[in-house]
Structure formats: structure tokens, C-alpha cells
Structure 1
């Protein structure tokens, strides 16, 4: 999955917490959120644009919060873990390291309890067996 496909998939699945997400889908979307945040911060600084105490960066952060949590949940599903493991973020350092390792871990090959393998062929994901 490339950058554009990842962003498109994550935004179209804005609040979809079911299914699985590949490593590339997760990391490309993470890069997208970082780039959007940087652009919003630069625009805030250059244009001094703010709505009350909420600037463009805060709007971008809150706008991308739900899809970021959703893709992280689907990423954890890919390694057969519940999305609730994201609560490890509240454990300083150790929780972050564990999640980083899990986000970098290759997903389960084949289907698991959360759905089909996102790296399998589309026909296989739909339940159609390839011709011999």
C-alpha cells in the first residue's frame, strides 16, 4: 500500500475499528498526520490564525484523532491483539516501547479472529479460492 492509498483508506474508514491494517497502511497514515501537523503549525505561525485559543494545529489534531485511533486498533488486530492495548500509551516509556514494537511487527499470515489478512490477494480476502 502506498502513501495515497493509505491516507484514502484511513480517511474512508474514519471511525472503523473492526478489521485489520497492514504495517504500511499504519505507518503511511502516521507520516500523513505528522506532515499535516507540521503544515498547520507553520500556517499558525505565519498567518497568526487562531479561533479563540484553538489554532489550525489543534483543529487538525482533533480532526485526525479518531482515524488515528481506528487505524492503530486495526493495526493491533493484524497481530491478533485487541485495540484496548492502546491504553499502554498511558504507561510512560515502557508502554510506548511495547506499542512501537507491536506496530512494527509483521501481522498474522492468513485470517485471524479480526478478519482477513490485509496483505492477501483481494480474491482470497473475499473468500474466493484461486484457480489451481
Structure 2
């Protein structure tokens, strides 16, 4: 099996958990209540859902997977802090586990991420 084919299949595995979290974008009562408890309003629920959806989509694009995973690590860090400081501390383990998975993807895709960043720097210098 070639590296590209294997990598594509591996990247798609991470799409499912990320997309299942998109219930925040729906009017699910528990999601509305959770974001009300956080205290930043429902706009924050939609913004969080949009960032998660963009990250999930980018995770299945091999060239963007590492950068998407790095960004999602930051998002999960915020989720961990929110769980500990505002919601239920025991549930902080779930976003921490997601962050660990995203860290593995980011590490695996670090070469592609460097190439993308170099490409962007080259275009910005024109």
C-alpha cells in the first residue's frame, strides 16, 4: 500500500468524531443550556461549531491535516479550561483525549505543514 493511500484512510478516521460534535450547531436543548452556562451567548456556540467543522474538513485534506490538527489542539485546550473552570471538571478528559489525537496527527503531518507554511511565506513575499 502506498503512503498516500494509507495516509488518506487514516485521516478520514478523525472526521467522524469531529463531525458528530456538530450537534452544537443544531438547536439541541443540552447544547443551548451548556453554552448559556458558559455565559458567552449562543453566538459562541455557532462560532465554536464553525471552527470545529472547518477543522474536521481540513483534517481529511492531507496537505492541511497537520495545520488543522494544530488549530484543533488550541480549540480543545479552550474546551479543557472551560470544563475545569465553568462546567464539570471530570469532563475535561474528553477534549484532552481529542487534543492528544490531534497532536499525533499534527506530528505525523509536520512535513506537509512545513511545506504549506513555506509556500504561503513565498507567496506573501511577492
TM exceeds 0.5? no
Structure of greater relative contact order (alpha carbons < 8 Å, 6+ residues apart): 1
- TM-score tier by shorter-chain length is 0.3 to 0.5
Calculate the TM-score normalised by the size of structure 1. 0.36
Please say which structure displays the higher CA radius of gyration: 1
Calculate the TM-score normalised by the size of structure 2. 0.37
